[in-house]
Structure 1
Amino acid sequence: MSSRPQPDSRDTYARFVPLTTRWMDNDAYGHLNNVVYYSLFDTAVNSLLIEAGALDLHAGPVIGLVVETHCNFFESLAFPQRIEAGVRVAQQGRSSVRYEIGLFAEGAATCAARGHFVHVYVDRDSRRPVDVLPDAYLAALKGLTP
């Protein structure tokens, strides 16, 4: 078995998104349920894409479909903590992008969880991968590369 993953520090991420936890995010053990982490990942990345003018949820010709996800947990997070999601682009292909996200308790030096997901960008109607990412996406991704 490979060595145990270690948490990342803040300086390894290109951008940060502040996120708020909710009472319903906690599970019976008093911390965020594991599925909430994936929701926070998705929210952080898509917020940045919307802010950059790349993602148009309702009418954009290109959408991203998640084809791979992963998460490592290092420390518990729980409501009512505020979270800062660090986002970076780790790999970019012709029609796919691997986003890496670190979830930090507000002000923490290292992440409590680190994960990634891969978006394959497809034509909204045909659901086939695009030949090349639109310029708005390319510009947004440039800002997410550390």
Structure 2
Amino acid sequence: MPHDTALLVERLAQALTARGWMMATAESCTGGRIAGACTDRAGSSDWFERGFVTYSNAAKTELLGVPADLIAAHGAVSEPVARAMAAGARAHAPVQVSVAVTGVAGPGGGSAAKPVGTVWFGWATPQGVETECVSFDGDRAAVRQATVAHALAGLLHRLG
């Protein structure tokens, strides 16, 4: 795990533990790497509850409750789906916060509207769900690693 990711996990662990809160992840393009980064840290069971790897559209619907018609209307890589994934992870786990990611890691799968490197993020907290779209440069590994770091940093930011 890159040093910056390990530092983000350490800070996130401290922030969640201080509140007595638990988190969950809902991951598509990262395939569980956010959960993996969190659970690489010893003692993560004190603040990390579960991760949903919802790579397929069916998994997003079955495990997180993302409406199939929402995916059909907007595509899996979209603001409404990221929002629904984050809300679904929080609703389907005994947690206070969650982070969701859905994107195009490449090298294929991109389009003019959603080029490779496009990632939608969702963060669900007791205050609601916030979303953001980021475009990352690099190959598949670089996009996925940048997504993990941004997801963790975004949750940490929302915890204040």
- TM-score, normalised to structure 2, is 0.27
Higher helix content, 1 or 2? 2
